[in-house]
Amino acid sequence: MQRLRTQVAIVGAGPSGLMLGHLLHLHGIDSVIVENRSQEYVVERVRAGVLEQGAVDLMRDAGVGARLAREGLRHSGVYIAFSGRRHHIDMEELTGGRAITVYGQNEVVKDLIDARAASGRPLHFGASDVAVHDIDREHPRVTFRLGDDEHELTCDFVAGCDGFHGICRPAIPPTRLQTYQRDYPFAWLGILADAAPSSDELVYSLHERGFALFSMRSPRVTRLYLQCAIDEDLDNWSDDRIWSELKTRLRTSDGWEPNEGPITQKGVTPMRSFVAEPMREGRLFLAGDAAHIVPPTGAKGLNLAMADVWRLGSALASYYKSADVRGLETYSDRGIRRTWRAQRFSWWMTSMLHRSDSENPFDYKRQIAELDYLVSSRAAMTSLAENYVGTAFD
């Protein structure tokens, strides 16, 4: 058994764990990051693509934004498509200059792993049997195995950055945790294709056959999603069928449609809304997907995760610098408020843009009327824009 000591034990090397480790490093606080997957798996996992202004600012201010500034695609607007037409929403103009940036989550993760390596602080991939203990004592512990070696990490705080299926949230006694959940009766089939994006902005589309989303990763790579069944079998989706369905749902009467190219990745993502309250128990703090999940339609998950670790990093810095516990004590309440705002927005975008078997022709007409109102009212567009670009981290 190897016994280790650190100030903050971080479980999970997704965007939240890596960013928290980096922010703590900038404050001179020691941490150990323990991840159960391999480095390749963590870096290759294709997920989010949209960064709010606050997340871009955080990357820049933390000194890990150089590649993002060079390669990120700044988008000042977004298209909403329905009934054969695309409608542009100029988010920058509506929000007084705020925008989003398209930069793959795996690029964020790559940049943060590089920063971790440069810091010389420990990051263990491929850990097994990860468990947290004594979260209500002064010195919690995290135990794990690396190969055949057992490790016991004693710390001051544990950061549960281990995503929805992690082990940190279940370490909180159920009587101390209130959870709220909504599962949606559909999923997303997502692809990456080697095709130049045919639109300068993202296109969110509601079609009679269901939702579709046009996004991108670079000037040569398009990212596309279509609403599918929860138990969709990818084997039933040949590349031809995927392109045909995407084009049917996205094509507009002005002739716009996505460019085709070789499909390099396919996956099915379930859709869920989930909140766990509070985000803290004793000396365990939950951050990111460990504490909350939003359906991807609002592009909020990664951004909520970044807002959490920004708050947690600042709170821990105040604690270590001047024994000030106010940040730690308000961490959960402030996070929950932001989470519910993002939950409301993500649920609204999802309900407005997807078709559900439990709904009838009345509901489709109502959805079209809502979209029609959205793209013709400056107040409604401003509401979407404000939520989509996100509020400053607080």
Indicate whether 72 belongs to the interface with ligand PHB (CB under 6 A): no
Residues in the chain: 394
Three-state secondary structure string covering 328-368: HHHHHHHHHHHHHHHHHHHHHHHHHHCCCCCCCHHHHHHHH
- Annotation says 296 is catalytic: yes
SS3 187: strand
Indicate whether 206 belongs to the interface with ligand PHB (CB under 6 A): no
Beta strands, E only, 23-103: 31-34, 50-51, 73-75, 77-82, 85-90, 100-102
Residue 65 contacts which entry, ligand FAD, ligand PHB, none (Cβ below 5-8 A, type-dependent): none
169: how many CB neighbours lie within 10 A of its CB?
A: 21
Give 50 or 384: the residue with its C-beta nearer to ligand FAD: 50
Residue 223 contacts which entry, ligand FAD, ligand PHB, none (Cβ below 5-8 A, type-dependent): ligand PHB
- Annotation says 27 is catalytic: no
> Could you give the dihedral angle defined by the CA atoms of residues 295, 298, 300 and 301, in that order, rounded to the nearest 10 degrees?
20
| Strand (E) or helix (H) holding 302 | helix 301-322
Q: What is the smallest separation between the CB atom of 236 and ligand PHB, expressed in angstroms?
A: 22
* The binder of ligand PHB chosen from 23, 48, 316, 381 (CB under 6 A): 48
Give 42 or 132: the residue with its C-beta nearer to ligand PHB: 42
Indicate whether 342 belongs to the interface with ligand FAD (CB under 6 A): no
**By CB under 6 A, which span of 28-36, 93-101, 227-235, 346-354 interacts with ligand FAD?**
28-36
- Annotation says 103 is catalytic: no
Residue of 296, 319, 320, 354 marked active site: 296
Q: Which of 361, 382, 368 is nearest to 205 (CA)?
A: 368
* The binder of ligand PHB chosen from 10, 50, 108, 226 (CB under 6 A): 50
Indicate whether 34 belongs to the interface with ligand PHB (CB under 6 A): no
Size of the site for ligand PHB (CB under 6 A): 9
Q: Are 147 and 53 in contact (CB under 8 A)?
A: no
Interstrand relation of 178-193 and 100-102 (parallel, antiparallel or unpaired): unpaired
383: how many CB neighbours lie within 10 A of its CB?
A: 15
SS3 151: strand
- Annotation says 388 is catalytic: yes
Residue 161 contacts which entry, ligand PHB, ligand FAD, none (Cβ below 5-8 A, type-dependent): ligand FAD
Q: Which residues bind ligand FAD (CB under 6 A)?
A: 11-17, 34-37, 42, 47-50, 105, 127, 130, 161-163, 166-167, 190, 269, 288-289, 296, 299-303, 305
Residues in touch with ligand PHB (CB under 6 A): 48-50, 202, 215, 223, 296-297, 299
